[in-house]
Structure 1
Amino acid sequence: MTGVSTRLVRLLNMVPYFQANPRITYNEAAADLGVSVKQLRDDLTQLWMCGLPGYGPGDLIDFDFSGDTIEVTFTAGIDHPLRLTSPEATGVLVALRALLDVPGMVDPEAARSAIAKIESAAGHAGHHSEGTAVDEPAPIESEAAAAVRTAVRSGRALAIEYYSASHDVLSSRVVDPIRVVLVADHSYLEAWCRTAEGVRLFRFDRIVDARVLDEPAMPPPPAVQAAPDTSLFDPDSADPSLPTATLRVSRSASWMFDYYPLRVLAEHPDGSCDAAMTYASDDWMARFVLGFGSAVEVLAPEGLAERVRSAAVAALAAYEASAATRTE
C-alpha cells in the first residue's frame, strides 16, 4: 500500500511539474522526481491513459516527446483544484472507507479526516453555489456494510444474507470475519464460512443483510495467518488450473470493465476490445456471456463458444416455437 500511495502522489504532481519545467530531459526529470528513467517512462505511460470522461482522443493527458525532452501539451484539468460531482464524491467516500480496513494503510487518520471533510462539504452543498465540492449530499454506507466493518474491528461473529451471482441464490450464513480486502475496486469480507467450512470472500454490495452476533469470531489460525486468496479476481495471477475465456467486448458493453475482472488484450478501431476473464464454471460463464447478447462474443476456448452458440440456438428455437403456437 505504501508503494501505491507514493506512486499516486508522484503521478498527481507530475503534470504540474512538467508544466513548470517545459522541455526538461528524462534524466533531469527522473533526478528531480527521485525515480529511475525506466520508472519515469512507466509513469508517463500510465498518465497517458488517464484523463477526462470519454477517454478518447482529446480527453486524455497528452505529452510531446522531442528527442530526449518532455513537454505536457494537455493537462485534462489535473493542474486545477479538484472539484467533485456527487457521483465522484460518492466513489471517493466508498474507496476511503474501504482503505481504512486494508492492512498497511499509510495514515488512517488522514483518511478519516478526508472522509469527514467530503461529508461536510456534501452536507453544505445546498447552501453554496460556488466553491463547493459536491452539489448534493452523498449517500452513507449501507447498514449491512457498516455491520461487517464493526464485526471485523470488534472480532465478533457475523450472520449474513448473501446473494451469490454465480448461482443466482440468496443464502443465510454465519461467518467468522478475518479481514476486509480491496479487489478490483470492490470491498470484500474475507471470512471463515461455517457452512462451507472454508475461507470465502463475500462482496460488500452482495451482502443483503448483516447482523453482529454476541459471540467472538473464531476463524482457524491457519486461515488467519494465510494471505488473502484473490487469484480468481486477478487474471494476471489466477490459478493456472482455472480456465480463462477470451472475449470480444463491443464498445456498447465497455462498462463491463468497471464491474468484472477483465484484462484487456487488444483494442480495435471500432471501439471493441479483446479481453481475458478467468472463471470457475462453464455453465456460469455461458450464462454470463448470453446475458450480453451480441455485445459479447466468445473467441476462446472453442468449447465455451460452442456451449454459448448451442444455448442461443435452443433459446431462439424455443422462442420461435412459442410464437408459432400463439399465431395458430
Structure 2
Amino acid sequence: MSARLSGRLARLLNLVPYFIANPGISAAAASAELGVTSKQLMDDLNQLWMCGLPGYGPGDLIDLSFSEESIEVTFSAGIDRPLRLTSTEATALLVALRSIVEMPGMVDPTAAQGAMAKIESAAGAAAFAQSARSDADRSTHDPGPAVVEDPSAATVRHALARSHALRLVYYSASRDAMSERVVDPIRIVLVDNHSYLQAWCRNAEGVRLFRFDRIDVATELDEPARPPAAAVEQPAALELFSDDPALPLARLKISAPYVWVLDHYPMNQVSLEADGSVEATMRFATLEWMSRLILGFGAGITVLDPPELVASLQERANAALSAYQDLEAV
C-alpha cells in the first residue's frame, strides 16, 4: 500500500509542471504520454484540486481547469518544475538503462542512449561527484561505445509497435533445427536475462516464446497481427513455458515431502508412485536457470532427463564439493 501511495505522490507532484508545459492538452493525449488511463488521470486531477500550501484556504489550493477536452493549471502553488533526480536516483536509473539496452528487442538503443545522455546532462557534475572518486565508478559514468541493434530485433519491435504480423526464421534449440513460421506478436518479455517475443504462432495454433538471440531472420508483413483475445490476455509469466514445445523438457522425480512444488511451478504430473513420490515434466528456458532451481531443492528433486541437465547438475555439485573440501583442508 505504501509503495502505491508513494508512487502516486510522485506522479501528482509532476503533473502540475507537466500541464504548465502543455497548456490545453486533452485528457486522452496526456494519459497516453503519461502512461496512465484517462480515469486515473481524472482521479489524480481531482486529488490535486484539493492540495496546496499550508493553511489550505481556497486561495492557497492548486487551481485547475480540466475536462476530457482540455486541461490547464490556473494556479500552481509554487510547483512550477518537475522533481529532480538525486545523485543516487540518477545513477540507479543510468545503470538500469544500460542493462536493458543490452537485452535485444527490449528498447530502441538509440532512444535509450539519448535518454541516458539527457539524464547525465540534467543531473550535472554534482550528481556524479561521488562516482568520480574511483575508476570503477568512473566506468559506470562512461557511456562507452554505442550499442548497434540487431536488425531482426529492430524488425520485431517495429512490427509489434505497428501491430503487424511477422515471418520468422527461428532456431529451435530443443530440435537443433531451423524453422520458418508466421506469428502474431503479443508482447516482449524478459526472463532469466533473456528477452523473448511472446506471439501467437499460426503454425502451432498456440502462444509461443521466441528467444531474440535465436531469431535468424525477421520480416514484417504488410498485414495486421490477429492473435486471439484469449492469447493477448494470457499473463507473460513462467507458465507460458509449460506448453511451448520449442523449449527443452525436463523429466523430474519429486520425493513425497516436496510434491507441493507442483502447485508453485509450471509442472505436469506424469505418475504417482507407491511411496508418494511423483514423476513430472517441466519446460525451461536455460540450463543455468533450471540447474539453480533444482539445486535449491537438494535431494528432494532428482533429474531423470535430459542428459545435458543431469550433466550440468553433476558439474555444479562436484564444484561445490571441491570448494567445501578445499575449505576443510585449510
Query: If the length of structure 1 is used for normalisation, what is the TM-score?
Result: 0.44
Higher Cα radius of gyration: 2
Query: If the length of structure 2 is used for normalisation, what is the TM-score?
Result: 0.44
